[in-house]
Amino acid sequence: MSSNNRRTNTNVISKMMNAGKRAVAGVLSFVMDKWNSLHRETKKVFGISLVAGLVLVATVVVLAICLGNVTKKLDSVQAMSSNLQQELDRVTNEMETVLQKGPLTEVPQPTIAPTTAATATPMPTATPEPDKYIVCIDAGHGDWDGGAVKTVNGVEVRVEKDDNLRMAMLFREALKAYDVEVVMTRETDTYLSLSERAGIANAAGADVLISFHRNAYAGTAEVSGVEYWIHNSRPADAESLAQRISAEVVAIGGMLNRGVKYGTIASSKENYAINREANMASMIIELGFISSESDNAALDEYGEDYAKGMAKVVYEWLEEQAQAR
């Protein structure tokens, strides 16, 4: 290429660049002229709009970030909910398995560690004879469930289950004098649930169910006396029998009379299982406080007299009930 041609091309390129610069300068000049020609208020509105737009964009970005965090937390909550549902299903299945094995019953907490293997639930100890009165005697607690305990210097010297069984056996012997059929819920150191005890009386068609227990009070040994607990509906037959037994024990002496009570010690709107589930007149006799030296002494001295007196009262009451029918 000749030097003349090179100079010509250089001149063309230079002219084109200058023209481009003038065009850009013209556009900027035009924009600036237009901007300067705008009113102050218009500029203000434009500025505000620009700032608002930037704020809006920033807000959208922040919301997007927050939404992402919320989504992650929701996923975590859903995972926890799924785990809880699985645990609930497992517990439900376990409960169904337990219920299939038998009804839940009121089982008091053991006060003595188990010393013997569990014993099978005994059947009624006598087959009722026709035309005989039937009395079911329940010795409360048994086996690992010792009930209330009397301790001296940390040593157990008296356990409720033993006193209950001793009194139940004395009562059975006393009832023999009246040719009454006796059904025992237990005759040995055996555990039965509360429902099983009432069930034995119901199965035997007993006329009355009497359950022997001992009370206890941790505050002071001065609290003492006998209590008679019946259903909170205050059935006339059970109440009349309880009142008459109470009067007989008072006449024999040795223990204070705390009277006939209704429901449970926790609430008069509830009932002990013995009274709730029995189909006949029933009661729980709390024969003194195992925490009271005077009550323990009275039970040891007058236990047989209490049994004989209660047997007499029960027989007379059964006779009156039969005549009333």
Query: Where residue 145 sits, what CATH number does that domain have?
Result: 3.40.630.40
Would you state the pLDDT for residue 220?
Answer: 80
126: exposed, middle or buried (Cβ count in 10 Å: 0-12, 13-18, 19+)? middle
Q: Is residue 59 part of a domain?
A: no
For the stretch 1-25, pLDDT in tens is 555 555 565 666 677 777 777 777 7
**Cα dihedral sign, 140-142-147-149:** positive
112: exposed, middle or buried (Cβ count in 10 Å: 0-12, 13-18, 19+)? middle
Q: Is residue 20 part of a domain?
A: no
DSSP state, 44?
H
CA–CA separation, 117 and 280 (whole Å): 32
What are the tokens at 117? 């293997």
Would you state the pLDDT for residue 94?
Answer: 53
Would you state the pLDDT for residue 105?
Answer: 36
Please state the domain count of the chain: 1
Q: Is residue 77 part of a domain?
A: no
Q: Is residue 35 part of a domain?
A: no
Q: Is residue 57 part of a domain?
A: no
Q: Is residue 38 part of a domain?
A: no
Q: Is residue 120 part of a domain?
A: no
Domain that holds residue 285: 134-324
Answer yes or no: are the C-beta atoms of 141 and 167 closer than 8 Å: no
Q: Is residue 195 part of a domain?
A: yes
H-helix or E-strand containing 134? strand 134-139
Would you state the pLDDT for residue 3?
Answer: 54
Residue 195: count of CB within 10 angstroms of its CB: 19
Mean pLDDT per 10-residue segment, the chain (325 residues):
57 70 75 65 69 79 70 60 60 49 37 36 47 95 97 94 98 97 98 98 98 92 95 97 98 97 96 98 98 97 98 97 90
Residue 251: count of CB within 10 angstroms of its CB: 9
Residue 214 phi, psi (nearest 5): -125, 145
Would you state the pLDDT for residue 115?
Answer: 33
